[in-house]
Amino acid sequence: MTTNVAPASFFRASAIAASGVPWVADGFHLRVKLNPWIGFPLHSFAAWRLEVFETEGPTLQWRDQRGNALTMPFDLEGVGGYAEASVFGVPADEPYIWMEIDADDRGLRVDLLEGHVGASGGARLVASRSHSPFRFGHTSIMRLRAKGAGTINGVRAMSQARLAIREFIERKPDLTFGLPLGRNDWFVPDPNLDPLEAARRRLELAAPIRLSPPDNPAGTLPDDTDPGEETRRIMERIAPEFVDPWMKQGWADGGKAPIHAVLRGTTTTPDNQRLEANAPITPSLLTMAVDPQIARYIGLSTIIPFGETKPVHPANTWIIAARWAVQLKRVIQPASNPFGVPVTVGDLLKGSLAPAGWLDGIMGGYFPEADDIIADLPNRPEEGHGPWTHLPLLAVAVAAGDAPPDPPDPFRLASAGAGSWNPQADPANPGPETWQQVISLGSSPARGMVGFARTKPDGPLPLHRLEPPTGEGFVSRALPIVPNWASNNRRIVEDRNVPADANGASWTIWQADEFGQWSDGAGFSQPPPPRPSPPEPVVEATYRAKPDDDSLGPRIPGILRLKIDVPELARTEPGGLPVARLRLSVDGVDLPERVAAPGGTIIVEAEPRPFGVGEQRDVPIVGTYVDASGTPSAARRVSCAAYDARAPKAIPTSPMVIWSGQIDATGQAELALRWPPREGASRYRVYFGDARRLAGELGAPFPESPIRAAQAKPIHLASLQLTNKAAFTFLGETPGSTASDGLVHFSTRIPGGLRSVQFVRVVPVSAGGAESAFGSCGLVPVAVPTIDRPPPPLLDAFTEPAVGLTLTIRAQGLRPDLLAAAPGGPAQFRLRRTSRNVDRRFAPVWTAGDMAGPDAAGNWTATVEVPLDQLEPFVGASWYAEVRYPPEPAIPPGEAPLPADGGVGPLWGAMGDASERLWSEPSLAAGSLLVPPHAPDAPPEPAITREVDGSVKITIAELSIFHAGGAPYRLEVYRKDPGVATVRRDTIDIVASELTWTDAAPVPPGARYELAVVDPIGRRGPTTLSQ
């Protein structure tokens, strides 16, 4: 078991033996990757080369693409040209770190895959070999993939367990490499080296030997480089300007650890706004290290020339170690993660926390000044992440001898969406059109730097920032690109300034591995983005109505004036073309297409479709621009309110008086009217005039007739002359909507004390405000019913038992003027009857009718006969009489005007109904009681039944003639036993038409029964003897 080998997610090392590898200098290249959670170590890395090569047959299983197990040897062609191998039965802390596949190569490719499945659903590709030897070195080899043609004969591997790490590194390191910084509170360099000079040497020895694709996208030859100039560019320009400020800020303060340090800066946005930016230092430096040259400068990569170490072997193993200051309690995933508990740095480093005093001692022997930093760690600020401790860690890197990895595969490019046009920087002075395009690199992460060049229409053109700019005394090179992450987990790059070209644009994109070996270019082409549609027209519409011409049918009501300002090109969307034409539709009718000049104004006059009298509605207007390519804009729909200025026609009226409701407790009376809607009327104004005032307006005497219908007649006939609105009171306005009966309803309250006739005038108004001529609108006579009541009448009642009841009603004191208001009409009566003790006002009405009179004394009388069959014997009744004046007519006597067809009428009742008067108070009660002249008849013969228990049941039917509504008739039962006097056995109330009575046992044989009926006043009728 090996201890203190760090998890690869925190500290990973890799190595290649480069010989004739494009872009990479010859020699052993070492590279370390660090996690920002632990950051950079407290001192330089120490590296030892191990002379170990003990191989074994690994425990792995090959399977074809259907999952079928394969046994070596096997021909790849025979299993579909594809197979995968998985290692099993190997402890996690003793993985295989080197592996070679013995294969007959007939076009074979073998891939080394990560052991876990990535977020994209597949295993990440680590390295590939497309020719023999098929050999790999890696921190943990778990999966292989073979494709193409060839025979897999066998596999041999070397386990990390074969490395006696402790024994091998108890000697002076073969080399050290680290940050180009002097001694400070958080870092100690190799005391035997100048850290800056060591960085220069690393850069010069490993300088790229060819121009990278971003620096030479056309592949022009010669493409070799000058290592000295490449090194001078980094050391004298790139590092001081782009890297050193971050290191100075990160390692400047003993009270702020580099993993917590932040670089703060202020800049100005393109629109001159002040912008403050903060960036964490450690992650930023690790991101810069995607460029192998920057990685070498900051001590994350180094080179060992072949002449400075032992010869290349099939497996070349390096141990790289250092010590870190860590906060094991630092939370890196909150409790909201899927595990439900917070995850700390210590949780993930748990396997590397075994006692390692031996490693600590070895490191302390080479970097003794770091022990002072370690001793002071308990005193360093914790920043809320727990106490500091130091942790020695090591990593294993294996170079697979003369089998360096193939260059990375080209990206599988795809569009991340259609491109979009760029807005003009100065719309007033537009320059050439450009657009931008986002390109997806796929779901697999880039293995290193990304190169990006536009090949058409103006290429090949690298889309990188060149630093330093040409002409400043240094070689100018492209800064590396790190792809962005899109929300769908895909990696993307973006060209933000593509020149407009009808054929679109093309790009080539490359990727490099961590050592600087570039892939072939992946090409991608995209047509230009679709041109956006023109903007919608902005239509300003006004309306001018034609005057009233007294016509009745539909007509063109007026003129619409439309104003449209045509936008200049600067006001269109980016990429839009100039507006060329305008299409208009007014009220559903298409107008001729018009030429539209950008920046100009178009004026159009149009007519809507014909309107009815007084009609008002919104006229729909639809506008559409068409650009120079014939592309229409979205339709802009607006509307303009238009109306017909003709007034609606007046509503017919009748001279018949319409009656309001009775005066209520508030002294008001409800007036409710209805009328048919008039064409073109959107509302109605209602006016109210008093007959006396209107008569004065006419200059005529007021009719003194007590008949209000007669008062109304002359004024109604002169309605055309009453044109002065000041003579009327405005009651209100009602909308033109109709009720369920199809008529317009209007209701208001008027003073209930009005005695004379009144007039209502209904004036239709159109939606445009045009009124019917005021004088042409007829008058509607209305009146409030009178509240006068006659005095209570006198009521006499006389009952003749053989004939029936006679009721006589006498009304006295009726006023002649109220009788005159209804000439020829009789006074009316009604009778109420009750046999119960109820208020006389609520006794049921029994009958009603007209009275005779008046007699010489002015009295009115009525006689009512009540026959015997309507009187119940022995039932007392109370009678009450009420009288009222004759109804007031709606038309003068002797005239018969008809209701106006389609005119104003009452909401309740019918046109021409008379106004019924109020009833008087009820008279005093007159009582009646019918008493038959004779005693009751003998009862019917009973049915006698002797029961088995000796009792006798007597049943008597047809007793309904003895039923009374008041006090009941009674049945007396007598029994005469043989030799004994007659005895009364019972008295029973007759409450039904059939009675049953039982004489309890014993009843002697031969007993007979006698029955007699007794009326409510005690008169006994003859007896009936049972048989």
Which residue ranges make up each domain of the chain? 11-52+174-225+301-399, 60-160, 433-526, 539-643, 658-783, 794-929, 943-1025
Question: Quick check: 210 and 78 in contact, CB under 8 A?
Answer: no
State the amino acid at position 122 in one-letter form: G
Q: What is the pTM of this model?
A: 0.66
**Three-class SS of 714-770:** HHHHCHHHCCCHHHCEEEEEEECCCCCCCCEEEEEEEECCCCCCEEEEEEEEECCCC
DSSP string, 646-666: PPPPPPP--SS-EE-PPP-TT
Same fold for the pair 433-526 and 794-929: yes
Give the HSE-up count for residue 353: Cα atoms under 13 Å, Cβ half-sphere: 10
CATH of domain 433-526: 2.60.40
CATH topology of domain 794-929: Immunoglobulin-like (2.60.40)
Q: How many angstroms separate the Cα of 448 from the Cα of each of 32, 178, 482, 517, 731?
A: 13, 21, 8, 9, 88
Q: What is the pLDDT of residue 105?
A: 96
Q: What is the pLDDT of residue 652?
A: 93
Mean pLDDT by 10 residues, the chain (1027 residues): 76 96 95 96 96 91 95 96 94 92 97 72 83 95 96 96 84 95 97 97 95 94 91 96 96 94 78 79 95 97 94 92 95 81 88 75 92 95 92 95 94 89 87 93 83 93 94 94 68 93 95 95 94 95 92 93 94 92 97 95 96 91 96 96 91 93 92 93 94 92 86 92 94 93 94 92 90 93 93 94 92 88 87 90 93 91 92 88 93 80 89 91 92 87 88 87 74 88 88 88 87 89 86
| Paired tokens of 691 | 């007959």
Residue of 487, 38, 27, 446 whose CA lies nearest to 259: 38
Q: What is the pLDDT of residue 269?
A: 62
Question: Quick check: 435 and 529 in contact, CB under 8 A?
Answer: yes
Q: What is the CA radius of gyration of the chain?
A: 59
CA 331-334-335 angle, to 5 degrees, is 125
pLDDT tens across 864-921, in order? 999 988 888 888 899 999 999 999 898 888 787 777 778 999 998 888 889 899 999 9
Q: What is the pLDDT of residue 121?
A: 47
Peptide bond into 73 cis (omega under 30): yes
> 1003 forms bridges with which residues in the sheet?
none
CATH of domain 943-1025: 2.60.40.10
| Paired tokens of 344 | 């700390």
Peptide bond into 457 cis (omega under 30): yes
Q: What is the pLDDT of residue 963?
A: 66
539-643: in CATH 2.60.40 = yes
d(CA 309, CA 981): 161
Q: What is the pLDDT of residue 120?
A: 46
* CATH code matching the domain that covers 658-783, chosen among 3.40.50, 2.40.30, 2.60.40, 1.10.1760: 2.60.40
